[in-house]
Chain A
Amino acid sequence: MNKEHDILKWFEGELSTEEIKERYPNEDFSVFEKVGFYTKQIDVPKVDSQKALADFNAKKLVKHEPKIIPLNFKTIMKVAAILVVMLTSSYFVFFNNVKSYSTEIAQTEIFNLPDNSEVVLNAQSKLTYNKKLWKKERMLDLDGEAFFKVTKGKKFTVKTSAGTIQVLGTHFNVKERANYFEVQCYEGSVRVTHGSDRTILKPGKTFRVINGKISPVKDFKAENPSWLTKESTFDDVPLWQIINELEIQYDVAVDAKNIDTSVRFSGSFTHNNINIALQSVTIPLKLSYKINGKKVELYNYATH
């Protein structure tokens, strides 16, 4: 231990070679001597101090400049836009409670409302309601024609552009088309509000507005509207309305410019065969028709 310490001292220069040899006369220090001697001959790279300083000063200046990272507003705007899109779409996905049903030409749809009331939607009609508000208030919007079998309960309201129908639990049909508004009561009682007019309908009664004018209708005896069984029935209805219904049920364009469409028609037409349907309308009115693809021309029998 002591020898080791002395060797360290010798290497540090505290002890001379002579001294250490004196202390340990039997020891061979030649290896250490050689190690010490030749280690000193190791080549150490000489630094050109001035050149290194110049390099350093260049490096120093470059390094010293603080990095400026510009705020990238474009990126922020992109992120913001994505967020807005995500938030709004998720709002509509998760919070949009508006339920909507719609039908195309010649199409009907049957579905139940949350209170189990049954709705049959006739061709080219649309019905919407708010699922969330439904519990509080049974209210829906209708554009077109639909038959309702309402489960008994709180007030049930159907809003159309022509008027509002309120019931407690009945079967009724609402038809709201251009210039034509008709409510028919099949069971229970229905209150129709049209403008300032308020009418209570009993079964078999019809409330009809043509061109903004209320027109009286005879009682009917059916339990369901005929269109549920693929037939449209009319009682003293102007021809233009029948034409309108034909167009909805058969996806055709009816040309009636050569005839008087204000004549009244009572009767029905099927939804299954356009020829039979057109015949059942034209023959009683002494009219004729021509089918040309998706176009149907009505004309007076006599003039041709």
Chain B
Amino acid sequence: MDSPKHKLCEESYFNSFYLEHIQAANNFAFYKCGDKAVSLDFVQDAFVKIWENCSKIDLAKAKTYLFTTVNNMFLNAVRHEKVVMNYAKDVPYMDKTDLSPEYLMEEDEFKKKLLLAISDLKEEQREVFLLNRMEDKKYREIAELLDISQKTVEKRMSAALKILREKVEELKI
């Protein structure tokens, strides 16, 4: 009987696993470093690692393995100096009805400060915050992905929110 463990070693299965998770893994890497090219490189390397160890990895844990591998790669790599993030183009403002120049300027200012504040977050805070915000992930899911406790995730999230609030409110005054 085929052990499910080794299913990962089958090319076709692995490819579907790859296609299923490449975007999410890349997002995660991007949240961490804020650099498109670097994040894809790391994710590809992480997939290579999984492929090479396909027989040793539990299928159920493969996804976690992928994320923790990317995570570890960042730990081993030189810390990223500058996080560069941007907003998508042509996205609506929060209040779609208010289009007064004053409001738009205020919102633009807010967005700018928010981006800066997110960039300045600690890596582990940013990744938790963005995984939650961008992908609507539950804290439990994030904890599973990163192989850390849910409590840790909540702490990081809480700290991230506190810092962000302080920073964006600062500018208001």
Contacts and interface: CB of A to CB of B under 8 A. Distances in A.
Nearest to A13: B136
A52 interface: yes
A64 interface: yes
B22 A42 contact: no
A8 B26 CA distance: 25
A39 B157 contact: no
Contact of B52 (A32, A50, A63): A63
Contacts of A31: 165, 168-169
Given A11-B133, A42-B88, A45-B36, A56 B161 contact: no
B134 interface: yes
A39 B27 contact: no
B91 interface: yes
Interface stretch (B56-64, B68-76, B109-117): B109-117
Interface in B120-137: 129-130, 132-134, 136
Contacts of B85: 42-43
Interface in B77-132: 85-89, 91, 94, 107, 110-111, 114-115, 118, 129-130, 132
Contact of B111 (A38, A49, A52): A38
B26 A47 contact: yes
B65 to A, nearest CB: 16
A35 interface: yes
A36 B111 CA distance: 11
A228 B152 CA distance: 103
Given A35-B168, A42-B115, A47-B26, A12 B139 contact: yes
B133 A56 contact: no
A44 B110 CA distance: 19
Interface residues on B, range: 35 or more
A8 B154 contact: yes
A206 to B, nearest CB: 93
Nearest to B90: A41
A40 B134 contact: yes
Interface in B2-42: 15, 18-19, 22-23, 26-27, 30, 36, 39-40
Contacts of B161: 7-8, 11, 32, 35
B148 interface: no
B18 A53 contact: yes
Contacts of A60: 47-48, 51
B88 A43 contact: yes
Interface residues of A, number: 33
Contacts of B138: 12-13
Given A45-B39, A47-B22, A35 B48 contact: no
A39 B30 CA distance: 14
B15 A53 contact: yes
Interface in A1-45: 4, 7-8, 11-13, 31-45
A213 interface: no
B66 interface: no
A45 B26 contact: yes
B164 interface: yes
B29 to A, nearest CB: 10
Interface in A60-108: 60, 63-64
A46 interface: yes
Given A35-B114, A45-B30, A56 B44 contact: yes
Contact of A59 (B27, B48, B118, B132): B48
A36 B39 contact: no
B158 interface: yes
Interface of A: 4, 7-8, 11-13, 31-47, 49-50, 52-53, 55-56, 59-60, 63-64
In the A-B complex, list the 4 residue pairs whose CB atoms are closest, starting with the nearest. A43-B88, A41-B91, A39-B133, A45-B36
8 contacts: A7-B158, A13-B136, A39-B134, A41-B91, A44-B134, A52-B44, A56-B47, A64-B51
